[in-house]
């Protein structure tokens, strides 16, 4: 789920790129490899902490969903970390590198 969140974030970035010329995945990776690498490494570190047997995210997530909705806590949290942390890390790294 985490990798899926990361992939969705970067596909959105790819689709919404500023120059709408011919799509070159090789060029896009060349331009964004630092952000992609740092985002992936930090996401996996958080994921390792999240998947630890003593971590219970279900209680935390219950605050953000309608009553009666059942969540698969760790997979939902892994997806959220993949998507939202990717955004925050990407913006931070992109700002520092440019």
Any domain includes 63: yes
Whether residue 38 is contained in a domain is answered as: yes
Residue 78 domain-assigned (yes or no)? yes
- The number of folded domains in the chain is 1
Three-state secondary structure of 44-97: HHHHHHHCCCCCCCHHHHHCCCCCCCCCCHHHHHHHHHHHHHHHHHHHHHHHHH
pTM of the entire predicted model: 0.58
Report the C-alpha gap between 77 and 26 in whole angstroms: 31
21: in domain: no
For the cut 80, the answer to whether the pLDDT of residue 40 exceeds it is: yes
Residue 89 predicted with pLDDT over 70: yes
Q: Which two tokens stand for residue 14?
A: 């790819």
Q: Does the residue 22 lie in any domain?
A: no
pLDDT at 36: 83
pLDDT of residue 98: 65
Taking only the tens place, the pLDDT of each residue in 15-32 is 777 666 777 778 878 877
Q: Is residue 25 part of a domain?
A: no
Residue 12 lies in a domain: yes
What DSSP string describes 1-24?
-HHHHHHHHHHHHHHT-S--SS--
State which residues form the domain around 58. Answer: 2-16+32-97
- pLDDT (average), residues 47-72: 72
């Amino acid at each position: 789920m985490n990798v899926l969140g990361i992939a969705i974030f970067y596909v959105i970035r790819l689709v919404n790129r500023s120059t709408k010329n011919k799509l070159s995945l090789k060029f896009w990776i060349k331009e964004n490899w630092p952000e992609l690498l740092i985002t992936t490494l930090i996401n996996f570190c958080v994921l390792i902490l999240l998947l630890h047997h003593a971590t219970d995210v279900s209680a935390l997530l219950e605050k953000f969903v309608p009553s009666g909705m059942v969540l698969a806590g760790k997979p939902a949290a892994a997806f959220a970390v993949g998507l939202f942390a990717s955004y925050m890390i990407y913006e931070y790294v992109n700002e520092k590198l440019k």
